[in-house]
Chain A
Amino acid sequence: MIPEFGNFALVMALGIALVQSIVPLVGAVQNNSRMMAVAVPAARLQFVCVAISFLCLTISFIQNDFSVLYVAKNSNSLLPLHYRISAVWGSHEGSLLLWALILSGWTIAVSIFKKSLPLTLSSRVLAILGIISVGFLLFLLLTSNPFLRLFPAAAEGNDLNPLLQDPGLIFHPPILYMGYVGLAVPFAFAIAALLQGRIDASWTRWSRPWALVAWIFLTLGIALGSWWAYYELGWGGWWFWDPVENASFMPWLVTTALLHSLAVTEQRNTFKAWTLLLSIFGFSLSLLGTFLVRSGVLVSVHAFATDPARGVFILIFLAFVIGSALFLYAWRASAIISLGRFSALSRETLLLINNVLLLVACATILVGTLYPLFMDAMQLGKISVGPPYFDKVFAPLMLLLVFVLGFGPMTHWRKDTFKNLINRLLKSALISALLGMAFVLLIFGPAPLLTTLAVVLGVWVIASSLATFKNHLGKDKPLDRLRLLPLAYFGMLVAHIGVGVFIIGVTLVSTYEQSETVRLAVGESYTLANRRFELADLTSVQGPNYNAEQATIKIFRGDHLVSTQFPEKRFYHSSSQPMTEAGIDAGLFRDFYISLGEPQQGNAWTMRLNYKPFVRWIWLGALLMAFGGLLAVLDRRYRKKQEGAN
């Protein structure tokens, strides 16, 4: 009964979404405020329906209703409750339902916070979000219905993929989706702006915080995914340039560009058409990502849906959304005039360079991701583009970006001179060069040129951010000025420092990580990176739905015991698939990472020992970026203007 109810709610949601997308748009054209007013109640009702549907699926999982095909495939009666709940989005159908739920959640958020917006603009935005909802609800109902019954019902479920039975996976998909789907909001704002043919101050002040919030979620989602892959996949990698990772990273790059372009639009009344284009690109890439992940065209560890009907549906939807958005842009963008003027050396120019570098980086990733698909479609052979391609293309672009980043905040809007700029930044440039080199030299000894350069640039970002801050405070009454600085300014500083921390982490871990595969019997030990790893014991452990072999590894520095780790090899009852649980001794400056391989004769195991210097700085940097974004969202100017308008 419950699954049927959920299915019915989904059909209802589709009907309401249709009303939500058509009626307000017609109303906006005819200037009929009663028709436009339909948008808000429709959006709320749609959310309620999707939420009910989602709840029904969750109940089916909690009750172990194995007469539902999707539940039978992805759950098991021995599965702990929290994993039964997270199993709802553990596979294709449920994760799409989560997509739809989050989309209607964003829509309802717009409908709640929209008070200060003109009715025409807000109803258009809600209608466009409605159209996207229609697409996804149709996709769910036609190709990926999670409520399909299994007859006769299964006696026991298949179990959730053991890799997904992990706390990280409870949060990673919802957070990432919040970001992915959140890009629909700036997209809808951009389309609405194109429909009305102008961007005014209220538009930018509106679009910017929404783009920021989506970006924060995207940042956290990607960082969480990377962290999860690091400790769960068992071999200590933190980024694989896997097509699915790329699918989330490309919208992130474009949205980062969008945030900077929005800043120019808000402060300087220029870059307007460009901002609109970036808003369209951002969401288009998030749709493209959905297509790549969900259609099964990819050779990827994440892709397991291989139903051609799904791919065709998303491809058509993708073509429709992106095609009509770009068509509208080509048609209407010339009506949107940017008034602000700037000279060749100005913050505007530097932000334009930032935007171009981010877009170019995104384009190179797109090429690397789609090229194999293109070759395959043209029957030119099956190829894959390996991580070295991405490293090689991406690193120089990012170093250039980071170099420019150091100048950006210190450069004046509109017009600046080289002489003044150098005056302001010479000290931080020298300090960062010396500090960066000393840093690498003291910790790791003589280093490759590229490593030193990258670390210096990482320090440069941090040093120039601090210099900008000092400059902003000025010489007299710095405390008074401090109080006047907007929160968004601190947000920028923190996020930029995060970029520096991230660059340093990536550089050091990629240059200096060490890894060794060894065979150890109980009592034997091996020395890596000045630490002695001793296999002290082997035991068997019982989990709720698995058995595990657990090793006790003692890590010594000299004769001093630093840490004891318990890496496991788990065998889940429901599948023949073993799982490696790594033992990680984590620290701010290094991780020691141990993963078990296979049992050997004579009470021994093969295992992989890893030394990962500064690996935590990667996620620390991402966290700082997200935190910076949060500070910017909380800035008074977004709240005050809206309250003032009420």
Chain B
Amino acid sequence: MIAANLPALQIVLPLIAAPLCLLLRRGNLAWALALFVSLAAFAIAVALLTQVLDSGAISYELGGWAPPWGIEYRVDVLNAFVLLIVAAIGAVVLAYARRSVAQEVPTSQHSGFYTAFLLCLTGLLGVAITGDAFNLFVFLEISSLSSYVLISMGRDRRALTAAFQYLVMGTIGATFIVIGIGLLYMSTGTLNMADLGARLPAIGANRTVLAAFAFLTVGATIKLALFPLHFWLPNAYAYAPSAVTAFLASTATKVSIYILLRFFFTVFGPTFEAEEITLNNLVVPLATIAVLVCSTVAIYQGNVKRMLAYSSIAQIGYMMIGIGFGTVTGLTAGIAHLFNHAVTKGGLFLVLGCIVWRIGSCRLGDLAGLGRRMPLTMFAFVLGGLSLIGVPLTAGFVSKWVLVQAAIEQGNWLVAVAILAGSLLALIYVWRVVEVAYLRPAPDSAPEAAEAPWSMLIPAWILIGASIYFGVETSLSLGVAEAAARFLLGGAG
């Protein structure tokens, strides 16, 4: 019974736990329940991925209604991979969250925090698993609304304005996606994404379908913060509670990229007429600019959290370059980078959360001499930074290497150079932190700082360790990413 219902349980386990968390009222009980559920969700995601790799896509009929009439949950290689990323990060961040949240969020809001967190997890998992276009929008809004709530719980009052800005931008993006879905429904009469993909080629690229494509693309790019639609992101990440930043940075934008992939390749199909024009001529230049501009902007940030936020936009640029190429190598690089960056950036933000927990600030100047006072924490930061730059034997290197190969395959030397330049820029901003932390002496007035508690340090090290592990052992990241890329481009998964 459980095995047959895994796709539904993936979503409804966190969903039913969310109101229970609210009923529990006590923060610690709510946390324990949330952690338990997120671990279960992670186990389900692992089971689903192995099942998909063994025996192909799984289809689940919600409520027993057959697709395309009913809502279908459809798990294939691509979204099983995304589910795994989201569930894994969710579990690690929740394990970390107790101490961090206890310090950063008022006690009366704790059960509310975990409720919103679980709803956000439900929404993100739901976006990834559903095979129904409108259901995707609903889950997207569940995750977005709860992430606005989570961001607004930050200590700084600027968290409120950041959440508001994100709310306005996010709602516009989501509304664009609904318009796109509506136009598609208008021209095909179906909402099931596989069914849409089967029907659209016969209709061809008429004006309604083109408009739908445009709305969906712009809507999804707002949500995933592709340059120049990224203005909501730096503030939202900088002022949210540390655990929230780590969770959102490594899942929310990744799931939005998944939405884009799903619509580009499953719904419109790789041969869609407009695709050549849009992807290669629009997405690749924008993504390249994102890499260069946002890496440069990151260098000038005085707040390390903000710096990593800008770096995230640059890294999203790398993923979008790969997706923009639309080749097997490019997509493999994009999807693998999605995974590697989720692990790396999640780890880095968790490390930063440890620093904030100890010294109460993440301004660059306050980090002086921290290399000696919090050696384990800062060493984790250095390792994560290396992966961000893309040094060999780290996860960041693997996907960037494939990305450069994809660019050369296309004969696009300019982009290949830009990718390398982006890595150099990353070296500069990571070095700024390392220099302050290791080479500058701590001011005498600095508060006494020791290591962060183990319950925070271990989750942070799990992710940082993973970003090294996946730099050496690439069968999970690259192997699955390549299978997903082949699946998207119409080959056998």
Whether both chains belong to one complex is answered with: no
- B contacts, CB < 8 Å to A: none
